[in-house]
A and B are shown apart, each in its own frame.
Chain A
């Protein structure tokens, strides 16, 4: 057997796939064969490395060299120069992107991200359980099963200060404790992978890049709360995620990491994937449970909460993908280690997606408490095409429009609260000076109108009323009082909607109108020129 001299990682994600990475891989393998290098150089498919908009990407180890925008025509040069002669092809390198590099070592001036949940994404073959084990995977599970009681696991997670990454920031350890203490022997752990918040795809990258990490976190959670079964509820649109998670589950069963007597202990745990079918509201935990039971995804009244009355009315802990993916590292490295990252009240890292008018749209994992300015201007590379920053929509569609004066806000649950903003899903949509805020708010209201489940009147009719009011503003048919009506209505929806969907519109509506009032008022004039709203 030959030990490979080099590892070549090819990230497979929608972005690279549409650039033709499949064809590229085939051509690369052919070229290696032609040069008798197929045993010396191993080509691996990996998940996304968080770089988007850069065509076909390739990472070569052991050097850790990054290539971007590759074409099939580049292959002979890559093989001849780099793989045979050991000289990286300079003009094909990813270049001096400040924060995009995903590296284990700090190299020169490269700004490093703090990776916990994404530490393996793009580094290992996500479809190979051995690779995960080789980088220390399932050690945390082993530690838990061999030396910790469920209560100790919960205590450790509580001590770590881990808070739910789905948006609300509820302490994870506490949720587990409630579930563990709830009456009944039949309990469930559900992983909420119904990632539908516009501008968010972190959960997809975790599932596609490091599915076993999520699996490990879930099994530990199941052990802690006393569940015998776990479900991963994945967005129906995420076909690759579903495939990779299913492969991971199948392999885990083969390795006795799932099933009867996990790793030879008394603990028995099963796991199943459930597929959504296109409904944003199913990201709400009780709607998700309804959907998982095969019903219309309409939320339930809370209380009672899922921790006592969840799936099949049994105690259930519903946790976000990113939350669970933090768990193995916490167990392995201790709560104290975790607390050393991030802020005091919000320890750990946060995965953000930076989108819109930035130089490097994509995904980063940084410490909690990093400022918005830092994220946009350092990690995101600043505003594209030399334009000026106008505002950022932070937290997804249910987020807040922040103007420039708020750029120094620290990105964590509590600091954002002071600005009446939310961390939400971690999506940051950056808008340049040419953006029309009325038009953006229109887009958000339209989204909520489309995604309202229709169960409760405030949301069902309220979203539609807001939609007709914003259309009036766009068309120059609104009065100033209509702007107040929009704010008042969204506040009433916040107070009386059945679930967070209808409650959250107040954030974008109020922040857009209040922070960018002049622009809204300008639209009241029928003669105001706006190429976005009036063409």
Chain B
């Protein structure tokens, strides 16, 4: 969907702000909201620009920076922490060569942390875009990353 299509879909009610931001971000292959996006949304809903900025930066699912094709979100909640999430994070940092919140140079991966994603039964867990991966181990991580890297080519 283009930005205009998203806006037209939701009408001008201010309570649609979060939905609109979600849809615009989801339509962007780099999974983020641009300055222009926030500007146009503010105009459409007749909200102050700063207000839209304030809302967009409040929620952790929105990003104002371009991200990779795959957003890896590692759960760092207490359950996953107990089950070894720290090792998983270290493993990912090592194999991707980026820090938390950073995107790989080839723009394929962005590494993020997330609060509980509700799959604690298979902790430690992570999400890649909307797909969940659980019972993670170092070996599994390497395998998943390799696979995604191949898919993206």
Whether the complex brings A and B within 8 Å at their CB atoms is answered yes
Q: Does A295 interact with chain B (Cβ within 8 Å)? A: yes
Q: By the criterion CB–CB under 8 Å, are A294 and B15 in contact? A: yes
Q: By the criterion CB–CB under 8 Å, are A277 and B115 in contact? A: no
Residues in chain A within 8 A of chain B (CB atoms): 14-15, 17-18, 52-53, 195-201, 204, 235-239, 274-280, 291-298, 353, 355-357, 361-363, 393, 397, 427, 429, 431, 435, 439-440, 443-444, 446-447, 450-451, 453
Q: By the criterion CB–CB under 8 Å, are B79 and A204 in contact? A: no
19 contacts between A and B (CB under 8 A): A14-B118, A17-B131, A18-B122, A196-B116, A198-B77, A274-B19, A275-B22, A276-B18, A278-B59, A278-B61, A279-B58, A279-B59, A298-B58, A361-B121, A397-B78, A440-B82, A443-B76, A447-B76, A450-B115
Q: Does B60 interact with chain A (Cβ within 8 Å)? A: yes
Top 6 nearest A-B pairs (CB, nearest first) are A52-B121, A277-B59, A294-B17, A198-B77, A278-B60, A201-B118
Q: What residues of chain B lie closer than 8 Å to A279, measured between beta carbons?
A: 58-60
CA–CA, A295 and B54, complex, Å: 9
CA–CA, A197 and B79, complex, Å: 11
Q: What residues of chain A lie closer than 8 Å to B82, measured between beta carbons?
A: 356-357, 429, 431, 435, 440, 443
**A397 to B: closest C-beta gap in Å:** 6
Q: By the criterion CB–CB under 8 Å, are A353 and B19 in contact? A: no
Q: By the criterion CB–CB under 8 Å, are B122 and A293 in contact? A: no
**B147 to A: closest C-beta gap in Å:** 13
| A-contact 0/1 string along B108-122, CB 8 Å cutoff | 000000111111111
Q: What residues of chain A lie closer than 8 Å to B122, measured between beta carbons?
A: 14-15, 18, 52-53, 361
- CB-contacts of B115-153 with A (<8 A): 115-123, 127, 130-135
Q: By the criterion CB–CB under 8 Å, are A353 and B18 in contact? A: no
Query: Taking A278-B61, A294-B15 as contacts, is the C-beta distance between A15 and B119 under 8 angstroms?
Result: yes
Q: By the criterion CB–CB under 8 Å, are B61 and A277 in contact? A: yes
Interface centre among B59, B78, B83, B115 (most CB of A within 10 A): B78
Q: By the criterion CB–CB under 8 Å, are B61 and A18 in contact? A: no
Q: What residues of chain A lie closer than 8 Å to B121, measured between beta carbons?
A: 15, 52-53, 201, 353, 355, 361-363
Task: Return the chain A residue nearest B23 by Cβ.
Answer: A275
**A50 to B: closest C-beta gap in Å:** 9
Residues in chain B within 8 A of chain A (CB atoms): 14-19, 21-22, 45, 54-55, 58-62, 76-79, 81-83, 114-123, 127, 130-135
Query: Taking A275-B19, A294-B15 as contacts, is the C-beta distance between A440 and B81 under 8 angstroms?
Result: yes
CA–CA, A453 and B134, complex, Å: 29
Q: By the criterion CB–CB under 8 Å, are B15 and A356 in contact? A: no
Q: By the criterion CB–CB under 8 Å, are B116 and A200 in contact? A: yes
Task: Return the chain A residue nearest B75 by Cβ.
Answer: A198
Query: Taking A15-B119, A294-B15 as contacts, is the C-beta distance between A429 and B132 under 8 angstroms?
Result: no
Q: What residues of chain A lie closer than 8 Å to B132, measured between beta carbons?
A: 14-15, 17-18
Q: By the criterion CB–CB under 8 Å, are B21 and A277 in contact? A: yes
Q: What residues of chain B lie closer than 8 Å to A53, measured between beta carbons?
A: 121-122, 134-135
Query: Taking A14-B134, A294-B16, A393-B78 as contacts, is the C-beta distance between A201 and B115 under 8 angstroms?
Result: no
CA–CA, A453 and B117, complex, Å: 19
CA–CA, A433 and B62, complex, Å: 39
CA–CA, A15 and B118, complex, Å: 11
Q: What residues of chain A lie closer than 8 Å to B59, measured between beta carbons?
A: 236, 276-279, 297
**A355 to B: closest C-beta gap in Å:** 5
Q: By the criterion CB–CB under 8 Å, are A356 and B54 in contact? A: no
